[in-house]
Amino acid sequence: MSSTSPQKHVVVIGGGILGASTAFHLTSGGAKVTLVTAGTLANGASSRSIAWLNSSGARSAEYHYLRLLAIDRYRTWSAHHPESRGYIRFNGAMKWAAPGKTFRDTYAAERSRGYESLWVERANVAAIAPDVNAEAVAEEGAIFNPGEGWVNMPDFIPALVAEAVAKGAEVIENAGDVRVNVQDGASVGVILGNGTQVSADEVVLATGGDVPAQLAALGVTVLDRTPAAFVLITDPVDAEVKTVLNTPRVAVRPTPDGRLVLDSDWAEQTVVIEDDGSFSVPQESVQGLLDEASKVLAGNPRLTAHHVGAGLKPIPGDGLPVVGPIPQIPGLYTIFSHSGATLGLILGELLAEEILTGTPSPVLKSFRPDRFGSTDGAPEAVGTGAWEPVKQ
């Protein structure tokens, strides 16, 4: 990535993986970068992600290709950063269907596009994934994807930002309610929570589940189906777990320090958004996840909760990434996506290259913000809102 233009100053709002990646790639490309975040780095949706690196299931050709590029970038990062191999691992993932359902069509779809996918009979599960309880697997068997893995964002994001800082980026944490400063219809920088103005040539809005509301306040429509959700982090487990599991009742992946990260669709539906905007999780849901995870692991280890992280889970209205310039507001870009963990490195790279060179990426053609249309009545500024800590 290179540009012959004068050095640009870009402010990136958001300290999750999408903001950190964009800031890193902009700095690597020669831009002056200021990364600002309402709280601390990695304290939002990135810290609450199962962070499963995959292109599993049936997807459009364009989206599958993007995800394959994304996984490739993690492999490249790991190859050049040996210390990252503790928190970026590719030990494969296993999934199976719920009772009365089948994954045979999913297996066929994955194989048809060349994705590495193995059908594993229940009797052979122990040979492929000895950390999995074979008796919990669907009677028809399971799919094992050897090339899939996971990343631990609370480790990776600080490492990514540290490299950006070493190359000249500035980081402002605990900036409060950061607003995009729009003057005469164009973005001219940001206003921090304390009123300090930071001018910029371009601004990137990468604030996770808050993006649609922030853009709506500027008169820009991005369809949204962001729910409240939570993940559960266990205490250290007296069993070696390597395989990412995506089962009908629980998803499981290990952490570098011997814990497990758990989540599930049924559990996230029980999150309560309190009147003050904080989030609470019923104890029954916490214990339910622990019980379900124990069932799918070999030896059915006793699991206990270390902590719960609840908040918004960013999902665009059509489920696909939203990346690129906001046509109605020159100088403003956004990056908003589900599967931010998988897509983090590649989306940040491609958006940074567009900002630096002015050349649109063909890879991002299907994922532009303007596919949703727009509304009228933009104010001069829009706040990000701070992520509220979990209320337990």
SS3 string, 74-87, reads HHHHHHHCHHHHHC
What pLDDT is attached to residue 58? 87
**Tally of domains within the chain:** 2
pLDDT(1) > 60: no
pLDDT at 372: 87
Per-residue pLDDT, 339: 95
- Return the pLDDT at 381: 41
pTM of this prediction? Answer: 0.93
Domain membership of residue 83 (yes or no) is: no
Q: Do 321 and 385 belong together in one domain?
A: yes
**Nearest-10 crossing angle of helices 340-357, 17-28:** 30
Q: What's the CATH number where 297 sits?
A: 3.30.9.10
Average pLDDT over the chain, rounded to an integer: 93
What was the pLDDT predicted at 5? Answer: 55
Note whether residue 73 is domain-resident: no
Percent of the chain with pLDDT over 70: 94
Taking CB atoms within 8 Å and a gap of at least 24, the contacts of 152-156 are 152/51, 152/87, 152/88, 152/255, 152/256, 153/16, 153/17, 153/42, 153/46, 153/47, 153/49, 153/51, 153/341, 154/42, 154/47, 155/86, 155/87, 155/256, 156/17, 156/84, 156/87, 156/88
Question: Is residue 305 over pLDDT 90?
Answer: yes
Same domain assignment for residues 231 and 142: yes
Both 237 and 293 in one domain: the answer is yes
Indicate whether 87 belongs to any domain: no
Q: Could you tell me what percent of the chain has a pLDDT over 90?
A: 92
Residue 71 lies in a domain: no
Which range of residues forms the domain containing residue 367? 9-47+154-223+317-391
Assess whether 356 and 372 both reside in one domain: yes
Asked whether the predicted pLDDT for residue 377 surpasses 80, the reply is: no
59 lies in a domain? no
pLDDT per position as a tens digit, 118-166: 999 999 999 999 999 999 999 999 999 999 999 999 999 999 999 999 9
How confident is residue 353, by pLDDT bands cut at 50, 70 and 90?
very high
Residue 224 pLDDT grade (very low, low, confident, very high; cuts 50, 70, 90): very high
